[in-house]
Amino acid sequence: MIQIRNNDTLCKSMANTIDILTRQLAWNSHIVNPSTASYDSVVVGGMGGSALAALATRWLGFSKSLTVHRDYDVPTRLPERALYVAVSHSGNTEETLSFAHAVLKQKLLLAVVASGGKLLELAKEHALSCVEVPSDFVPRDSTFYHLRALEVLLGESALVGVADIPDQAQILTETERVASALNERVPLIYASTQNEILAYIWKIILNETAKVPAFHNVFPEFNHNEMQGIDPKGPLSAQVPLMPVVLKDSEDNPRIAHRMNVFCDISTKRGSEPLVISGVTGARGARLLWHWFLAREVAHMLAEKYGVPADEVPLIEEFKKQL
């Protein structure tokens, strides 16, 4: 295992993560200009970390159809009687502003979630239903502010709560084990199709916090193409240090669980044992928080190991300035 933190430092990091989660999950969101209009489905426009809450809302059991649009403008085929929600933590995300303006142009029902910026100004100008979220954390650390905002906008009861926050003891050993396995390796995160959001959370946090390439895919599609490309006996295996990470879950279909086991067995026999993360059992809210918490701790540990600033994303910021 990589030894880069003493227990005091690790405990402080975990206490900080618990504080971040507690503040967000205990936050009482408030709607400005609440709408009484009815709708049958929801389309959320958002990018990066700002899209995570919408994906989580759908995964946690939102009662209506929910589509996440991660692009400019609006989807080509628009559902009838839909509520459109523009989510941008900064309020200045170019694609999300494009989405909001396109919705308004077509005179569709629009609501907004933002901490400020041009999107919040647009909401005030047009008297849109809006939830202003706090700006005290970076977007990927603000997922549960956005989740609370979507819950109140969509009239949902709390989908996840403070009681779902995992105990530090559950995370401590796993953080050291997973960070050690990923040290100086490229993580390839795989989950079942229904649990793709869990793999996506890992990918986003590792990309932005640890500053490493990380990619995700899902079973069973992975078995039909990508699996061959990461064969330990493949032509680039010696030059590219890959680490397949399999996220097993208590709700996985038995056929998918079997595929995961077979893949792990074959890969191990061919010289590359995948890292298996089994997570926890119980309600989806607890499982979501467990993966988010663990991914954040692992990414911070790797960022410290690599000597990079965990919260900053200088390449992304430079890219935005040049658009």
The pLDDT score that the predictor gives to residue 258 is 98
Domain count across the chain: 2
CATH code for position 59: 3.40.50.10490
Which among 115, 137, 162 is the end of a domain?
A: 162
Distinct helix (H) and strand (E) counts, the chain: 11, 9
Does residue 121 sit in the same domain as residue 199?
Answer: no
Domain that holds residue 41: 24-162
Helix (H) or strand (E) holding 266: helix 254-269
Helix (H) or strand (E) holding 259: helix 254-269
Does residue 114 sit in the same domain as residue 226?
Answer: no
Taking only the tens of pLDDT, the chain with its 323 residues reads 555 555 666 778 888 999 999 999 999 999 999 998 999 999 999 998 889 999 999 999 998 999 999 999 999 988 889 999 999 999 999 999 999 999 999 999 999 999 999 999 999 999 999 999 999 998 889 999 999 999 999 999 888 999 999 888 889 889 999 999 999 999 999 999 999 999 999 999 999 999 999 999 999 999 999 999 999 999 988 888 999 999 999 999 999 999 999 999 999 999 999 999 998 888 999 999 999 999 999 999 999 999 999 999 999 989 988 98
The pLDDT score that the predictor gives to residue 13 is 84
Helix (H) or strand (E) holding 253: none
Token match 């907004």: residue? 112
DSSP 85-129: EEEESSS--HHHHHHHHHHHHTT-EEEEEESSHHHHHHHHHTT-E
What b-and-e string marks burial along 227-250, b requiring 16 or more CB atoms within 10 Å of the CB? beebebeeeeeeeeebbbbbbbbe
User: What is the amino acid identity at position 287?
Assistant: R
Does residue 118 sit in the same domain as residue 192?
Answer: no
The pLDDT score that the predictor gives to residue 189 is 98
